[in-house]
Amino acid sequence: MVDKLFRTTLFWATLVFVLTESALVFIIVKFRGKPGDPEPKQVHGNTMVEVIWTAIPALVLAMIAVPTVRTIFRTYEIPTGADVLQVEVIGHQWWWEFRYPQLGLTTANELHVPVGRTVALKMITQDVLHSFWIPQLAGKRDVFPNRSTTLWFKAEEAGDYPGQCAEFCGIQHGRMAFQVIAQTTDEFAGYVSRMEATGAVSPAAPAAPPADSTAAKPAAAAPALTTTTLAATAPAAPDTAAGAQLFMMKGCIGCHSLNATKPMGIGPNLAGIGQRLYIAAGWLKNTDANLANWIQHPQTVKHGVLMPDLGVTPAEAQSLVVYLRQH
Ligand code: CUA
């Protein structure tokens, strides 16, 4: 709908441009002054010409306005039904929180969606104005505190679609990006079960199936049990004990949940962080080096973020990276 509207507008704009510029060039050439020409006839006002140059643009604007208003109202009609995937989007300075109310999952900065299924977004912000924009999938829409706006799209091809905050929202506005990962139905189901598994006692290595994904346990209980579970099921897995302990001692746990079924809303939910493409809201590739640097120097890497420099040593950062890679 948006593309069609754009093409309609572009058609009329092109037509107006070509006609106006052709007339202009023709008149400039045809009536140009030559040496020795007499003073041209001086006129003031011409009602007929003025009526024409008012009426034609009014008509052109009406031709653009009618489909534009129709499209605005149409895109605001949020599709409903059991097949529609509902997502709540919460803007934060400077990252995006995504919640799937039907699935009971929360994530950040990376929105996984199934191909061919309509995704309905309900958006709000925690602080200032932001604007949600995925150029390849949907239009741009502002996001406000205390008032929700909506947007919907359907990804027709699997792929990774970059998105960006499009409303100036502070010093790190430019680094408030996100990714939409459109997956086949099977891949999406796999993603959902991996995320659900982070809510169970065992945040097992990605390859291992969730042993028993029963009821969600508090995230605080997870790290202690992690090592035992990992040792039992995957002996080759790296030692995450040091990282697990640091995650609590350095206070990471105070803002970051590692459990996708337990939203916290202060810092980005880190369930699945080990597999994400980017860290720091689309700003850095999710490599071990970048992650370690980010953990040690958040205020240098992305000045102004809520995460303070916590005095993490390089060795501690390495342990935390090893730990987070398993989530
Ligand atoms: Cu959020 Cu710009």
DSSP string covering 49-102 = HHHHHHHHHHHHHHHHHHHHHHHHHHHHS---STTSEEEEEEEETTEEEEEETT
Rounded distance, CA 105 to CA 198, Å?
A: 10
Least confident interval from 7-21, 140-154, 310-324: 310-324
Residue 91 CA, ligand 1 centroid: distance in Å: 8
Q: Is residue 226 part of a domain?
A: no
pLDDT at 234 over 80: no
Lowest mean pLDDT among 106-110, 176-180, 214-218: 214-218
Q: Is the CB of 165 under 6 A from ligand 1?
A: yes
Supply the pLDDT for residue 150.
92
pLDDT value of position 251: 84
**DSSP type of residue 145:** T
Q: Measured from the CB, is residue 316 less than 6 Å from ligand 1? A: no
Quick one: pLDDT at residue 175? 93
Cα-to-centroid distance, 51 and ligand 1 (Å)? 45
For residue 227, being part of any structural domain is answered with: no
Task: Band the pLDDT of 181: cuts 50, 70, 90.
Answer: very high
Domain tally, the chain: 3
87 C-beta closer than 6 A to ligand 1: no
Residues paired with 121 in a beta bridge: 87, 151
Q: Would you say residue 283 lies in a domain?
A: yes
Nearest CA to 113 among 196, 181, 178?
181
My answer on whether 95 and 68 are in the same domain is no
Q: Closest ligand 1 atom to the C-alpha of 143?
A: 1
How many angstroms separate the alpha carbon of residue 207 from the centre of ligand 1? 35
Does 92 lie in the same domain as 61?
A: no
For ligand 1, the distance from its centroid to the CA atom of residue 248, given in whole angstroms, is: 30
The response to whether residue 217 sits with its C-beta less than 6 Å from ligand 1 reads: no
Asked if pLDDT for residue 204 goes beyond 70, the answer is no
- Is the domain of 58 the same as that of 89? no
pTM: 0.74
CA of 255 to the centre of ligand 1 (A): 21
| Spatial contact of 138 and 163, defined as CB atoms under 8 Å apart | no
Given a cut of 90, whether residue 253 has pLDDT beyond it is: no
C-alpha–C-alpha distance, residues 187 and 63, integer Å = 44
Residue 181 placed within a domain = yes
Residue nearest to ligand 1 atom 1, measured at CA: 130
171, 197, 223: which is the final residue of a domain?
197
The mean pLDDT of 45-59, rounded to a whole number, is: 93
pLDDT at 236 over 80: no
Above 80 in pLDDT, residue 37? yes
Indicate whether residue 125 lines ligand 1 (CB < 6 A). Answer: no
In this predicted structure, what is the pLDDT of residue 201? 55
Q: When comparing pLDDT for 89 and 301, which is higher? A: 89
Domain that holds residue 55: 1-19+49-75
**Ligand 1 centre from 119 Cα, in Å?**
22
Q: Which of 40-44, 52-56, 124-128 has the lowest average pLDDT?
A: 40-44
